Amino acid sequence: MKRDELISQVREEYAGIASNPAQQHFHLTTSGITPEAYYNTLMNAVVSDIENGKFDTCRSGTEIVNKVAADKSILSNWNWK
């Protein structure tokens, strides 16, 4: 149950970040990938790791998003292409 709640929170966090107007310049710095595509790929990697128990010690989706923002290498299946 806790993992489902974390997944829901993480999805909301990344949806908010991707749709933020400040992200409109994003495609210019990442070879044309849209913010939505980038954050969708990132979110899928995070969700997979949540399902596998990697973030069981985290208390919220925000905590997970902040951890990943600080170090994406913690994701086991990170692939932004």
| Range of the structural domain that residue 40 is part of | 2-74
Specify if 79 maps to a domain. no
The pLDDT assigned to 21 comes to 67
Specify if 50 maps to a domain. yes
The pLDDT assigned to 12 comes to 93
- Digit-coded pLDDT (tens) for 72-81: 888 887 765 5
With residue 70 as reference, give the H or E element that holds it. helix 61-70
Report the number of distinct structural domains present in the chain.
1
Residue 2: strand, helix, or coil: helix
**pTM attached to this predicted model:** 0.82
The pLDDT assigned to 57 comes to 95
Q: Which residue ranges of the chain lie beneath pLDDT 50?
A: none
Specify if 20 maps to a domain. yes
The pLDDT assigned to 13 comes to 92
Specify if 51 maps to a domain. yes
